[in-house]
Chain A
């Protein structure tokens, strides 16, 4: 599904180059569940952002569904991202001024989906994640787990082919964290959703088929190979 070749990312600050990622080579197949692990500052999030096309690499090649992302113009890249990739974050990043329902609906608005169809899709999501009762509440009226559920629902509503999760359970207690992870696992197994997650936790990492260890911007090791 996606392929990285010699992806390097650095920041230039007054003639000093700071490397975040160095020559990353990685391939992810459709239907895989991959975990990226590593200590703080290893470059995990940056890698995820590049994969999610929120950021661009300084050097190297990135193919997504055989499209050369590194050669695309920003507009095309954004379109590719909006059609195929869903994001969830450690801080949930819901919009505080919107209700659960509206948060989930937002991506459809930008895709110009018709009102009747939107209604059906959102209702389906609410149903699926058992948050129908909460649909009129605002994020700050929800528990962390419920907020993350909403964020997952929002990410999934556009039926992405790839779900990127940046420490999705980092702010949750262990019970809620397990629930979210079980949900991701189910998505992967039952619907064949390709998932890439970043995590610190060995326990959460174990949900993936494959673990990639990053350190100082290098891929230190991959398990199982």
Chain B
């Protein structure tokens, strides 16, 4: 029986070729899309799950509660916290400090930058980072031992056995270390990313020992809780730990389960995941899948009229409803199986492109249980959503209907089908609205005036050799008339990360706490970035004492501190000497446009990471080769790394640009699927109405009348879809826009454009088929009736 049904299904496949191609293609695209997006979601959700004890591992993080009620989060915790947790909180089985530092390694004549983690032996006991050679045993208890990643080992030592080799750190002057272990490269789904594991020592990170350790809070902390400990019990105990040592602190501690760090929007981690994107992509995957399923339903039911005779005969010769239902489900399964096979091929084909789009090393991994379950799930879901309805419908045909009036059930069936088309167009329009708005916002952020001039500014990555001799570097560069100005800062405008709340100033209330951002700046800052002074003056070598004792603040900072005339006011950070405000600059976006411009303090000579020059765009290549020449004369062993500031600013919005790209691609697919479905529907409706068209033509209807007859109906549904999609799209996209402190105004244009696009596209699809139907000679269409 089943074999027989399968054989029939196969012949059915060959019979309606157009139908088969449209449905299978639509389904395959839908399934491939879902598969890719699900793989991506799987990857995003898999973060940090590879540690044996991942369920009991937590990151301890800080919550700042400002007196104004504002709350912010940070991963930075005090230095002694890990030790305190181990000793004083019984629920803690183990804890470790984690300090990420960029190390500059020297090996012979060559130098390398690498991410080092300064941590304790407990780190190796808590986390699962397998070693390929050497042993993690007591590795970090020796102050001069390190473990390095396989990739770094290959880079440093080639094929030589790295164990026992020495490496030297020169950026902080940490000195010589012996490689005692090589660990497998950190997996792509780890929120911790590093190449070197080194023993913790303040000196290796470039710090002196003069602070109260509880005041030093550049460090991250992880805790391993005893099995069965409830997170809230631990949180309750850890909450007030900082205040026990610093009574004035506004910092609470709490914990985040390891597996939830990656997608937690409050927690900073190097490879920031984005739960919003996970939601967006899941929704899009589901919608596209649904579109494809709906296509199948629509087309199958549309074709039903041609198959009623078959069902009738089957019933006359003895088929029951159940066996017919089984037959049609089986038939659908054959389609779905072929579509799934094709989808796997498509997914494999587009995987590299998808990886590039998402910037994630997503894999489909057919041999993994998860993937197999996923494919099986998709197949099952397809059968449920797309297979059952048509099968129910077809198997319920009355035996007599093959001989009798065939139109008996059109009315009811049509409404279901139109609802489905309506849904397709609603999705389609909403997707386009979303895409347009996200695109607009991205462009807006990239192009908006940020208060600094980013054109024709080149960033040069400073190395230790350049640090030592930056004055010579500057003098040499400025000899070139095409280099107009030169400055150094610790950050890249738009990417500031340093903030502190240890500031105090004249007239500051004791209870008042305010977070101020700090940027280190040198002379040439104003000229290079085109930032304007509002009051007073900038750092200048003509006033050497101001370089040491002065600060420049922005307008926001003046407001925050409540200075009516800020010039000459005194402020101070921690126990440092007091500094005098010498100038106020106009606000510029030192952070991305997701955040509001906050108070900013500029300090002279603080951090030397980035050199910026403003150049004459006349001969960019010539200028760059000049810079490179000077750079290599001063630092022959270092890599010359440069970038353009406008690109750096655009890079801030990688997430959004990526979203636009991914969404763009998938919207295109949604359009393709909907168009295929619409084409199929029109095809059938024209075929079904052949006789009507013939009769109308015999009675004098022209092509225009026929076309308008066939299109009017479909277009009405497109308009209805707009009415549903607009408020829906508006609501969703407004919520998305609220992620941004600076955002575009929602106008009616994205909505109108989406409507127009849907209209034009459906007209194109409909017209082609309709014109063909309208042009048929009526004699041909009437002959066979």
Contacts and interface: CB of A to CB of B under 8 A. Distances in A.
A62 interface: no
A111 interface: yes
Nearest to B310: A95
Nearest to A92: B313
Interface of B: 1, 4, 7-8, 11-12, 15, 309-310, 312-314, 316-320, 323, 399-400, 402-403
A22 to B, nearest CB: 20
A188 to B, nearest CB: 21
Contacts of A45: 403
A82 interface: yes
A110 interface: yes
Given A54-B399, A95-B310, A107 B318 contact: yes
28 contacts: A49-B400, A49-B403, A78-B320, A82-B318, A87-B317, A93-B402, A94-B313, A95-B310, A95-B313, A96-B15, A97-B15, A97-B310, A98-B8, A102-B4, A102-B7, A106-B314, A106-B317, A106-B319, A107-B317, A109-B1, A109-B4, A110-B314, A110-B317, A110-B318, A110-B319, A110-B323, A111-B318, A154-B317
A42 interface: no
A97 B318 contact: no
B785 to A, nearest CB: 14
Contacts of A106: 314, 317-319
Contacts of B399: 54
A158 interface: yes
B541 to A, nearest CB: 92
A179 interface: no
Nearest to B398: A54
Contacts of B320: 78, 110
Contact of B11 (A49, A97, A154): A97
Given A95-B314, A97-B12, 14 more contacts: A49-B400, A49-B403, A55-B400, A87-B316, A89-B403, A93-B312, A93-B402, A96-B15, A97-B15, A107-B317, A107-B318, A110-B314, A110-B318, A111-B318
A59 to B, nearest CB: 18
Nearest to A83: B318
10 smallest beta-carbon distances between A and B, as pairs = A110-B318, A97-B11, A82-B318, A107-B317, A107-B318, A93-B313, A54-B400, A110-B319, A54-B399, A87-B316
Nearest to A11: B405
Contacts of A54: 316, 399-400
Interface of A: 45, 49, 54-55, 78, 82, 87, 89, 93-98, 102, 105-107, 109-112, 154, 158
A94 B402 CA distance: 12
A155 to B, nearest CB: 8
A93 B318 CA distance: 14
A contact patch SS = mixed
Contacts of B313: 93-95
Nearest to A93: B313
A13 to B, nearest CB: 11
Nearest to A105: B4
B318 A158 contact: yes
Contacts of A89: 403
Nearest to A85: B316
Residue among B7, B310, B320, B399 with most chain A CB within 10 A: B399
A95 B1 CA distance: 16
Nearest to A112: B1
B613 to A, nearest CB: 76
A98 B11 CA distance: 9
Nearest to A97: B11
A93 B8 CA distance: 16
Contacts of B4: 102, 105, 109
A49 B401 CA distance: 11
Contacts of A109: 1, 4
Contacts of A110: 314, 317-320, 323
A93 B1 CA distance: 21
A85 to B, nearest CB: 9
A56 to B, nearest CB: 10
A78 B318 CA distance: 8
B316 A93 contact: yes
Contacts of A87: 316-317
B379 to A, nearest CB: 25
B7 to A, nearest CB: 8
B11 A93 contact: no
A40 B60 CA distance: 89
A54 B15 CA distance: 29
A195 B331 CA distance: 37
A93 B400 contact: no
Contacts of A158: 318
B401 to A, nearest CB: 10
A54 B398 CA distance: 8
A154 B312 CA distance: 15
Contacts of A95: 310, 313-314
A1 B11 CA distance: 41
A12 to B, nearest CB: 14
Contacts of A96: 15, 310
